[in-house]
Structure 1
């Protein structure tokens, strides 16, 4: 049976692309090697941080990371590896960590972040989806005096709709667990939002199934056959052949298919991260999503619990949850917060697909006519999922070339 559109990968990018393809009348099949309930999207912090949040590759990131390493608080770990591609990625990452690139990236983040929030709100309203969604801002907390003063220089004006610089008593209202004596300062950035990422994934999956989208789960795609500049079929680990009019590769950090069969050297690396989901005393629950700017720890309140996310391991392919990393997250957090009991803890680890300039890889393959990419969202998958899904859907439905889409030319790593 020849299908209409097959999406390889059921993360947020795959689900959002399927959502808009289905809305446009296409018959969609999603194939995923797992059941999506332990994906990188599922373990996401749930902080939608497109506004006033620097990209990962920004000025000072290398020196700041080295400083935190000396203090034993660094979220980043680079494992020794013989994989030359990782070192190539690191060189490109450092090259992109400049003021000019950061300014451009933040403008793009803001443009497509606003589009995404509007699309999430439209999903919630039109399809009655429960995302536990709140657009109540992001609290950025600084534990280093230097980084706080640098940020204050950028926000030395008044804009009550965009941000508010907190006094100590105001911080306590929003982050009651804070050790005020150790916190250098805090700014509430009002345009950001939050939700429960796991709930989003399950709600979208259920909605898509009800809308007729086919899910083939726990089946890995191992190979593909290309003839006359078209994908003829893909082959799963169960030796099942899948034919389709169009294929969308949304495989997160896994680039083997693109490299082996499409000769596509995708500049992307897996970055391992962790989350801890737990219950905490009500009097300590933060009012909004909180990012500890100098520790790379995000703390997001949800309907039934709270989630920490942290760590950035480069060069690791070990999916196991390493206990010392969990302990390190807790240690860094409680260095600047009052002690409290963390109950019913659930640990998760997964790999974020990072490009060296924080820009996703979206767009049609230049040689394979019926293949489109939607991947490389890194730690911002939930922040941009709907925007990118709608862009990719538009390419496929209207049979556009990349050059015919301003969004692809602006917001794809293939053209940045």
Structure 2
């Protein structure tokens, strides 16, 4: 049986792609190697942070990381081993950490981040989905005086719709668990947060109820080509033919390698700690401990901390030392309280070296579509990227005919791929 559209991967980008294609009248089959209950998207902080927050690749990031390492507060751990692909990724990352790249990235983050926030609101209103969504801003918390002073210089103007520099009393209101060691905080009002687990489960339920076919616990291991088309993908036990294939496999690049396509992307291991805490100490909105790379997100009934960036690791197990490090760094700047009913998690995020996701049609096989490399910003950008892919597929467009692909996809951010791109972003 030949299917219409097969999506390989049931993370947030896979689910969102299924939603928009199904709404456009296409028949969608989603295949995942698990049962969509503990993917990387489940461990996300839930922070939709497209506004007033620097991407991972930004000027000064190397020096900042070394400084944090010296204090024992660095979230980054690099496992020493010779890996040509990782070395290539690191060199590209450093090259991309420049002022010109940062300015363009921030503009694009705001454009597609706002699109995503609007789409989440639309999904809740029109489909009755419950994402535990809150458009209440992001509190950027500073534990180092110099970084706080630099940020204050950057925001030395009045814009009450965009941000608020908090007084001590306002900080106590928004983050009552903060200790006196916190140097200051700024509330960036355009950001939002939600519950990633609720989003994933709600989307899965909605899609199953509305005719999307789910084939779960099925690992796709091979891909077959004929002339300029992909004709099928296969697991150990079955083969699936389709008109269009979407590769949404997160950090896993096996199928891309079968295609003989090298994706400049690396798996970055991250951790989350979810727990209950005294109600009177819970944060009012999502908080980014700017100098610690720790995000604290309030949810219904509990709170989640996310942190760490392990590069060069392939071990999926939770490393106790990493969990302990997150707790220790967090407790340095918060009042004492007991974390109850703790749940620990680790998973791999697919990171690109320039913070741009990899999406769009394959240059040789036009019925193969990529939806990968969203890093820790899957929740922040998946709906807007999925909407772009729906337009690309339904209207049978080439990549160069879609401005959003040219603007935002990492495939078009390298060495002068298209003149059209530079006309758009300069």
> TM-score with structure 1 length normalisation?
0.98
Residue 242 of structure 2 corresponds to: 244
Deviations 1:357-403 (A, max 9, x none): 00000000000121000110001000011000000111111110001
Query: Deviation of residue 80 (structure 1)?
Result: 0.8
Residue 146 of structure 1 corresponds to: 146
Query: Deviation of residue 82 (structure 1)?
Result: 2.1
Equivalent-residue separation in structure 1 for 2:36 and 2:355 (angstroms) = 23
Residue 280 of structure 1 corresponds to: 277
Query: Deviation of residue 265 (structure 1)?
Result: 0.9
Query: Deviation of residue 151 (structure 1)?
Result: 1.0
Equivalent-residue separation in structure 1 for 2:166 and 2:183 (angstroms) = 11
Q: CA RMSD in A?
A: 0.7
Query: Deviation of residue 140 (structure 1)?
Result: 0.1
Which sections of structure 1, spanning at least 5 residues, go unmatched? none
Residue 56 of structure 1 corresponds to: 56
Residue 194 of structure 2 corresponds to: 195
Larger deviation, residues 34-43 vs 15-24: 34-43
Equivalent-residue separation in structure 1 for 2:199 and 2:355 (angstroms) = 23
Deviations 1:315-360 (A, max 9, x none): 0000000111110000000001111111111111000100000000
Residue 102 of structure 2 corresponds to: 102
Aligned runs of 1:368-379 on 2, under 5 Å? 368-379=365-376
Equivalent-residue separation in structure 2 for 1:33 and 1:151 (angstroms) = 43
Q: For 2:43, what is the secondary structure of its paired residue?
A: coil
Q: For 1:41, what is the secondary structure of its paired residue?
A: helix
Which sections of structure 2, spanning at least 5 residues, go unmatched? 414-426
Residue 323 of structure 1 corresponds to: 320
Equivalent-residue separation in structure 1 for 2:98 and 2:151 (angstroms) = 16
Aligned runs of 1:10-159 on 2, under 5 Å? 10-159=10-159
Equivalent-residue separation in structure 1 for 2:266 and 2:147 (angstroms) = 27
Equivalent-residue separation in structure 1 for 2:107 and 2:35 (angstroms) = 35
May I ask how many residue pairs the two structures share in their alignment? Answer: 413
Equivalent-residue separation in structure 2 for 1:72 and 1:184 (angstroms) = 19
Deviations 1:102-145 (A, max 9, x none): 11101000000000000000000000000000000000001111
> TM-score with structure 2 length normalisation?
0.96
Tell me which stretches of 4 or more aligned residues in structure 1 moved more than 6 Å. none
Equivalent-residue separation in structure 1 for 2:284 and 2:366 (angstroms) = 48
Equivalent-residue separation in structure 2 for 1:147 and 1:316 (angstroms) = 30
Residue 290 of structure 2 corresponds to: 293
Equivalent-residue separation in structure 2 for 1:312 and 1:158 (angstroms) = 35
Q: For 1:133, what is the secondary structure of its paired residue?
A: coil
